[in-house]
Amino acid sequence: MFSPLLEVLPSHLSPIIITYPSDRALSFDELLQLVQDGVPTKEPYAILAESFSGPLAIRLAARNPPNLKAVILCATFASNPAPTSLLRHLISPLLFQIKPPRFFVRKLLLGMKADSSLMEEFLSVIVKVSPKVLSARLKAVMKADERAALKMCRVPILYLMAKRDLLVKRKSLIEMQSIRPEMKVVEIDGPHFLLQREPAKCVEALDAFLSQAV
């Protein structure tokens, strides 16, 4: 789902995309090891993490790995963004065996004005991920709490906030700002999948941030 972003990424930024397994339900600890194995070891880099990946980026940054210069968090959270943890008991792989309705995807993820090509790309991606994996990831989100790790981060942080995000509300950003008040925030008018819907605006913000932070 990063193709819209890659198309507008300036040539002086070299992307490395770390892909999570689609057929294995891995814990945050296991995914963190996968991320650690994928980041550069001999050159400066920044981490860009969207939605589910935010807690992983925070946890990695808290370890102060060599050469990490900055973190960009997009439409994400440090702790459970859901209104109640009771939802975790309702989550089952059975719920993810049904293809999500297009209206549901537009309303919660892509925005009502998302073009059909982005919708088709999302649907083609989601069917490749095991229902067991999707269920496990949602449960992991509801157990997430990286507030202590966020406090330990020593690199500059940029938060890209999606103004029309119906999944991760402003309260998640406010919570993170209470921990890291110096965190830079850029608000962009867009839905939860901000990097996919407003890639040019996101790149403009992160490029300006990195030019000062790195």
Which pLDDT tens digit goes with each residue over 5-18? 999 999 999 999 99
Distance CA 124, CA 191 (A): 20
Q: Which CATH class is domain 3-213?
A: alpha beta
Q: Which string of b and e fits 27-43 if b means at least 16 CB within 10 Å?
A: ebeebbeebeeebeeee
**Where do the domains of the chain lie?**
3-213
Give the three-class secondary structure for 147: helix
Computed over every residue of the chain, the mean pLDDT equals 91
pLDDT at 85 over 90: no
Find, among 8, 32, 43, 1, the residue nearest to 206 by Cα.
Answer: 8
Q: Is 125 helix (H, G, I), strand (E, B) or coil?
A: helix
pLDDT of residue 52: 94
The pTM is what?
0.92
Selection from 85-89, 146-150, 166-170 with the highest mean pLDDT: 146-150
Over residues 124-149, the pLDDT tens digits come to: 998 899 988 988 888 888 889 999 99
